[in-house]
């Protein structure tokens, strides 16, 4: 039976990098007879334009029935004044699908280490994963109020919500260098005090994994000072949002970074970490690597197509080693030049 992949290209550079990624995916789909079937649905600003909603009903239904979801990027200044913003669609989709575990790997490609704004000798060899809780905390807590005289957001976490994300982090660490850094603000926040207590409890279940705690402010500093000291970072929704953008600076370009979001059961969603980059949208300048690597994460984590993922990644590495790089990496290749070179490597 074919595997149904819902494609949400979204806004800005989303459609360009998605088209580029799908070109590569279609080639390996045929060659390895993976029987993947890709169908596009409107989402984000594109959803607002087509039906007034950032997450149209048809799109949500298709996502619920999919085997996996690929998302490009959403948002743009044209929807700033709209009654609904594209971002609402993304939050609603995460909640509706229960996508609580957001996995954001940060690694520095050897050949690109000199492009980092941080000293090369500090970043070379960096390889860690941010595990961000994605369906709780201040993003979703109620009450939420906004008037001219006061505003209120609520940060809520239940014991179970904390336990399942921390377990996820330990399971990942078990397969890596066996170190979990749990990031909180336990010197101030109640949710963080509970977080830290549960992290200690979960650590008992994984004696082979070391647990350390870091306060979020100090973690933000160590990320730049000594990024190689991290293996798996686990943290709550808002801290994870901020720290993963900070971490994305380390490899030299946001354009290289993929992510996966998993639920307990049901389809996972794969998307680049970056936004829709309206300033370069439609100019054929975007780096499609973040999308391609999101696709290889999907092939591994949703379908166990390890070999196919490796074939794609080595083709891309070969191309980058030849110095065919997009503008964000200091090169002159357009999105389509880059993809043409990858297709050539794949002998497509």
CA 301 to chain centre: 13
Of 41, 157, 168, 185, the active-site residue reads 185
Q: Give the distance, in angstroms, between the CA of residue 318 and the centroid of all CA atoms in the same chain.
A: 24
Binder of residue 315, out of Mg ion, ligand IPM, none (CB less than 5 to 8 A by kind): none
Paired tokens of 111: 């050949």
Closest listed residue to residue 86, CA positions, set 46, 114, 121: 46
Q: Measured from the CB atom, is 184 or 241 closer to Mg ion?
A: 241
Nearer to Mg ion, 29 or 237 (CB): 237
Least separation in angstroms between residue 240's CB and Mg ion is 8
Q: Write down the least CB distance from residue 90 to ligand IPM, Å.
A: 5
Footprint on this chain of ligand IPM (rule: CB under 6 A): 87, 90-91, 241
Judged by beta carbon, residue 273 or residue 316, the one nearer ligand IPM is: 273
- Concerning whether 217 is annotated as a catalytic residue, the answer is yes
* Residue 140: alpha-carbon gap to chain centroid: 19
Q: Which is nearer to ligand IPM, 79 or 195 (CB)?
A: 79
> CB under 5 to 8 A by kind: which of ligand IPM, Mg ion, none does 90 bind?
ligand IPM
Q: Of the two residues 184 and 241, which places its CB atom closer to ligand IPM in the complex? A: 241
For the chain, strand residue ranges (E) read 3-10, 36-40, 68-73, 101-107, 127-133, 141-146, 151-154, 179-184, 210-215, 232-235, 258-262, 268-272
By CB under 5 A, how many residues form the interface with Mg ion?
1
Place of tokens 């009450």: 143
Mapping DSSP to helix (H, G, I), strand (E, B) and coil, where does residue 164 land?
Answer: helix
What would the two tokens of residue 254 be? 């946001």
Choose among Mg ion, ligand IPM, none what residue 87 binds, the Cβ cut-off being 5 to 8 Å by kind: ligand IPM
Q: Tell me which residue has its CB nearest to ligand IPM.
A: 87
**DSSP run (H or E) holding 17:** helix 14-31
DSSP conformational letter for 11: S
The distance of closest approach from Cβ of residue 275 to Mg ion in the complex, given in angstroms and rounded to an integer, is 8
Q: By CB under 5 A, is residue 11 in contact with Mg ion?
A: no
Helix (H, G, I), strand (E, B) or coil at 344: helix
Residue linked to tokens 């993922």: 309
Q: Is 185 a catalytic residue?
A: yes
> Active site includes 58?
no
Is 153 considered catalytic here? no
Name residues contacting Mg ion, limited to 206-245 (CB under 5 A).
Answer: 241
Residues 85, 48: Cα–Cα separation, whole Å: 8
Task: Exactly one of 49, 127, 245, 337 is catalytic; name it.
Answer: 245
H or E element at residue 338: helix 335-345
- Annotation marks residue 245 as catalytic: yes
Of 4, 95, 127, 139, catalytic: 139
User: CA distances (Å), 105 to each of 113, 127, 248, 256, 293, in order?
Assistant: 16, 7, 9, 10, 10
What amino acid positions are annotated as catalytic residues? 139, 185, 217, 241, 245
């Amino acid at each position: 039976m074919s595997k149904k992949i819902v494609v949400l290209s979204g806004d800005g550079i989303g459609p360009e990098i998605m088209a580029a990624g799908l070109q590569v995916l279609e080639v390996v789909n045929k060659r390895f007879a993976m029987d993947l079937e890709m169908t596009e649905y409107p989402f984000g600003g594109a959803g607002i334009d087509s039906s007034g909603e950032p997450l149209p009903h048809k799109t949500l239904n298709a996502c619920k029935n999919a085997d996996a979801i690929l998302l490009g990027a959403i948002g743009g200044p044209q929807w700033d004044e709209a009654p609904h913003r594209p971002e609402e669609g993304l939050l609603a989709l995460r909640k509706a699908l229960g996508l609580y575990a957001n996995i954001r790997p940060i690694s520095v490609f050897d050949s690109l280490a000199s492009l980092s704004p941080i000293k090369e000798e500090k970043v070379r060899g960096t390889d860690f994963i941010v595990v961000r809780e994605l369906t709780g905390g201040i993003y979703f807590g109620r009450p939420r109020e906004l008037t001219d005289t006061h505003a209120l957001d609520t940060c809520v976490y239940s014991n179970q919500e904390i336990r399942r994300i921390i377990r996820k982090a330990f399971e990942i660490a078990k397969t890596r260098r066996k170190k979990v850094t749990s990031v909180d603000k336990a010197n101030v926040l109640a949710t963080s005090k509970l977080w830290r207590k549960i992290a200690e409890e979960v650590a008992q279940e994984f004696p082979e994994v070391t647990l350390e705690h870091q306060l979020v402010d100090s973690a933000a500093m160590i990320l730049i000072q000594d990024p190689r000291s991290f293996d798996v970072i686990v943290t709550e929704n808002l801290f994870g949002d901020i720290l993963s953008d900070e971490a994305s600076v380390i490899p030299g370009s946001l354009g290289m970074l993929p992510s996966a979001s998993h639920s307990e059961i049901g389809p996972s969603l794969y998307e680049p970490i970056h936004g829709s980059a309206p300033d370069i949208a439609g100019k054929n300048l975007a780096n499609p690597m973040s999308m391609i690597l999101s696709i290889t994460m999907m092939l591994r984590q949703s379908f166990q197509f390890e070999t196919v993922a490796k074939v794609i990644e080595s083709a891309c590495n070969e191309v980058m080693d030849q110095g065919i790089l997009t503008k964000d990496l200091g090169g002159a290749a357009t999105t389509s030049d880059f993809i043409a070179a990858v297709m050539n490597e794949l002998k497509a």
